[in-house]
A and B are shown apart, each in its own frame.
Chain A
Amino acid sequence: MGRILLIEPDTILGKNYQAALKRAGHDVYRSTSAGAALQILDEQAIELIVLELLLGAHNGVEFLYEIRSYSDLKNIPVIINSNVAPATVRSSPGYKLLGVQQYLYKPHTKQSELVEAAGIVFDAGVVRQ
Chain B
Amino acid sequence: MKNEHTFSAADASRVPLATLAQHVRQSLLQIAQYAQSGVGNESQIDTIARTTTKLLDCYILSGHSEQLELAVEPVSLGSVLQDVLHELTPIAKQHDCTMQFVSAGASQLVATNRAFAHAAFLSLGHSFIEAIHTDNPAERTIIFASRQYGGNQTAGVFSPDVTLNARALRQIRMLAGTATQQSGVVPGSSSGIIVADALLNRTNNQLYASKFQNTPGLAAAFIKNKQMQLV
Contacts and interface: CB of A to CB of B under 8 A. Distances in A.
A83 B95 contact: no
Interface string A1-32: 00000000111110011011000000000011
Contact of A12 (B95, B186, B188): B95
B66 interface: no
Most buried by B among A10, A33, A55, A110: A10
A111 B130 CA distance: 21
B33 A17 contact: yes
Interface stretch (B74-82, B107-115, B177-185, B191-199): B177-185
Contacts of B130: 10
Given A16-B37, A20-B37, A32 B134 contact: yes
Contacts of A112: 36
Nearest to A16: B33
Contacts of A57: 184-185
Contacts of B53: none
A86 interface: no
Interface of A: 9-13, 16-17, 19-20, 31-33, 36, 54-57, 83-84, 106-107, 110-112
Interface string B88-106: 0000001110000000000
B94 A107 contact: no
Contact of B180 (A13, A36, A54, A56): A54
Contacts of B29: 10, 13, 83, 106-107
Given A31-B135, A33-B134, A83-B25, A13 B184 contact: no
B180 A10 contact: no
Contacts of A111: 33, 36-37
Contacts of A56: 133, 184-187
A13 B34 CA distance: 8
Given A33-B135, A107-B29, 10 more contacts: A12-B33, A12-B94, A17-B33, A19-B37, A32-B133, A33-B134, A54-B180, A54-B181, A56-B133, A56-B184
Given A83-B26, A111-B37, A36 B135 contact: yes
Contacts, number: 64
Interface of B: 22, 25-26, 29-30, 33-34, 36-37, 44, 48, 94-96, 130, 133-135, 180-181, 184-188
| CB-CB nearest 5 A-B residue pairs | A16-B33, A32-B133, A111-B36, A11-B95, A12-B30
Contacts of B181: 54
B53 to A, nearest CB: 17
20 contacts: A9-B188, A10-B29, A10-B30, A10-B130, A11-B96, A12-B44, A13-B33, A16-B30, A16-B37, A19-B37, A20-B36, A32-B133, A33-B133, A36-B135, A54-B180, A54-B187, A54-B188, A55-B133, A56-B187, A112-B36
